[in-house]
Every structure is written in C-alpha cells, then in structure tokens.
C-alpha cells in the first residue's frame, strides 16, 4: 500500500464525494426537500413527495386564477395554480384506455380517510369488489378525496404509489397519499378543476 499524507487522502475523498454529488443530480425544476417555508415562497409544506414523481414548484404561465386545478392527462401531472406564473406540480395516475375524460368542473366535497362505495358501473365490471369499504389505510381512496361535481370521479389518494405516472384508473385522478394531503389542505370546496 502506498503511503499518502492524511491531508491528501481527505482532499481526494472530498473531491470524489463532491464530483458524485454534482454529477448524480439531474437538472430539474425547483423543488424543496425540507419541511417549512422555502426561500422565495410562502407555500409552507414539503415539496418532495414520497411517491415516484416529486412534488415541485414550477413555472406555469396561464390565465387561470390561483387555486385552479389543471390536470394534464397526457403528462400524468396535476397543477395547482398559485399565481405569479407558477404552480405546484404533482404526479398523478389517470384513467386507463376507455376511461379517460376531460372537462371543466368544481370540487363539491372533501373527505378525510373517505369510505368507498364503488359505483354500479364498476360493480358490473368487477363483481368481486366490496359494495362498501370503510375509510382507512387499505381503502383504495387513500388518505383524502376531493369530489368532482357532475362526474363519478374524485381526486384521491392511493395505497398503490407505483400506479402514479400511469393510465390505470377507472377515471379518477390518483395521487400518493402525502401529495393528496398537501393538495387537500390548499384547495377549498368550489375550486375549479380542468381536466384535459
């Protein structure tokens, strides 16, 4: 083994660690991995979700009022417009082939740990499903649900985080539980939902 002065060893190790840290992080939109207010905003909670698609504050120039929810089904993303040309972007799962939809609606109700009663159409397709399921960690609606008026659909949590970023649902918009809790805290009943 070749002898090196301690200072040289420490400098070499720091150089390798710094190189790895710089090259391992891909360029991405601004995100905040810590709880609490982030520099330059007043949004409060963490911007790093536990799911496969991190929650991020992104540039979002639009004519939509702050508080509007915009779901882009081809991107598998939900945008909550915050104003000043920005939005909070979340990863979502959307309706699979034959179950996709679009339109402009409003949030008509919100529920924490909601019960689930599959609609009759779903029970006809899947008679093996329970006719009613109490809210809780095993419930497919997850930690929160925002009910979209004029539809059978909800924006809701999921106990299947691997489904985020895919077309998998019967029309509902799925989010990881951490993200739907964050969205739920920001969106009032009456908020506009645009699905495109």
Single out the catalytic residue among 11, 20, 132, 172. Answer: 172
* Residue 82 near residue 66, CB atoms below 8 Å: yes
The yes-or-no answer on residue 166 being catalytic is no
Q: Tokens 């939809």 sit at which residue? A: 101
> What are the residues whose beta carbons fall under 8 Å from the beta carbon of 185, sequence distance 6 or more?
45
Task: Please confirm, yes or no, whether 156 is among the known catalytic residues.
Answer: yes
Distance CA 100, CA 108 (A): 20
DSSP-derived pairing of the beta strands 69-72 and 77-83: antiparallel
- Residue 165: what are its φ and ψ, rounded to 5°? 90, 15
Q: What is the largest CA-CA distance in the chain?
A: 76
Which residues are designated catalytic? 156, 172
């Amino acid at each position: 083994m070749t002898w090196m002065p301690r200072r040289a060893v420490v400098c070499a190790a720091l150089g390798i660690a710094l190189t790895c840290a710089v090259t391992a992080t891909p360029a991405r939109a601004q995100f905040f991995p810590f709880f609490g207010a982030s520099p330059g905003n007043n949004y409060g909670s963490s911007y790093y979700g536990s799911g496969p698609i991190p929650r991020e504050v992104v540039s979002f120039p639009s004519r939509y009022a702050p508080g509007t929810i915009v779901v882009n089904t081809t991107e598998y993303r939900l945008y909550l417009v915050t104003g000043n040309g920005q939005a909070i972007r979340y990863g979502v799962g959307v309706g699979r082939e034959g179950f996709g939809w679009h339109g402009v609606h409003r949030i008509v109700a919100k529920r924490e740990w909601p019960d689930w009663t599959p609609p009759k159409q779903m029970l006809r397709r899947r008679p093996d499903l329970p006719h009613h399921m109490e809210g809780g960690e095993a419930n497919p609606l997850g930690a929160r649900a925002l009910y979209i008026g004029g539809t059978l659909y909800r924006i809701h949590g999921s106990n299947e985080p691997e489904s985020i970023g895919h077309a998998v649902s019967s029309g509902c918009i799925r989010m990881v539980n951490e993200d739907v809790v964050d969205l739920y805290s920001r969106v009032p009943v009456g908020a506009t939902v645009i699905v495109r």
